[in-house]
Structure 1
């Protein structure tokens, strides 16, 4: 039994794939720049601005997912799997599209690595904050060393034994 090969791509389907690859490259470039900004904020301790970045990051991620899904539907409709080999097969003879696809793959690798670094930075910041919070909570459990007038109090305060 011979395996049927996928039908030859039409110029319109090749063009559509090329446009999707171009859009994905642009979105990945913007996503990577956003991750770099996020890393700078994490390193500098500018945690207040991270909420805004997180919102934009989620929007960019959803757009990248939409482009990926659209590319998967196009490839499936052409009888191809969602793979590097399929794209290279469909884009044979289109060196600029293949170069842009290589760029998409490299940008995706860079974004994944940068996101992992940022995740580690976030975990470090959280661990530091947790340690500081533990110190503050432990201090809150201690009796105050000063009274309301600023005079020192003995720790253990309370009544003297035998007094009523």
Structure 2
């Protein structure tokens, strides 16, 4: 695939922007993981907004790269990227870094998803336990010993 210098220059700029964007995105994923492990759920809301903004920015860069190749009648593949960037080892190295960073981001996001799923499961188990306890309240007699109740009331019922 023959590429003019203008295309190579624009593509190299996109790759640099993507590399920087992915580095920032990975830093957010690391922070998200630390917050999930520490149980600091409230701080995740602000982080989620920033993560969404960064993700959209990365998606725009990817879309732009795809459109550049579409104008050439080609798809973005490793082979095509190497053909366009072939004369520039510096650009090839930057592209390899983007691919590696994207893989790291994907893995970190998967791990964070697992942490979120585990936290949700723990919360669901705690809620189930609390609701079960509310359906079977313990009543204590004058001697301080618990006694089973004759009937149970649902929360919110009269």
Which structure 1 segments of 5+ residues have no match?
Answer: 1-5, 159-164
Select the residue among 66, 74, 86 that pairs with 1:72.
66
Q: Could you tell me how far apart the structure 1 residues matched to 2:69 and 2:109 are?
A: 28
TM-score by length of structure 2 reads 0.87
Residue 78 of structure 1: how far off its partner (Å): 2.4
Residue 108 of structure 1: how far off its partner (Å): 0.4
Q: Is 2:26 the partner of 1:20? A: no
Residues 29-68 of structure 1 aligned to structure 2 (within 5 Å): 29-68=23-62
User: What residue in structure 2 maps to residue 156 of structure 1?
Assistant: 149
Q: Could you tell me how far apart the structure 2 residues matched to 1:25 and 1:104 are?
A: 5
Bigger radius of gyration: 1
Residue 157 of structure 1: how far off its partner (Å): 5.6
Superposition CA RMSD, Å: 1.8
Q: Deviations over 1:77-107 (max 9, x none)?
A: 1232111111100011111111000000000
User: What residue in structure 1 maps to residue 137 of structure 2?
Assistant: 143
Select the residue among 118, 123, 127 that pairs with 1:124.
118
Q: Deviations over 1:33-61 (max 9, x none)?
A: 00000000011111111111111111111
Q: Could you tell me how far apart the structure 2 residues matched to 1:73 and 1:25 are?
A: 19
Q: Could you tell me how far apart the structure 2 residues matched to 1:16 and 1:25 are?
A: 14
Q: Could you tell me how far apart the structure 2 residues matched to 1:144 and 1:55 are?
A: 44
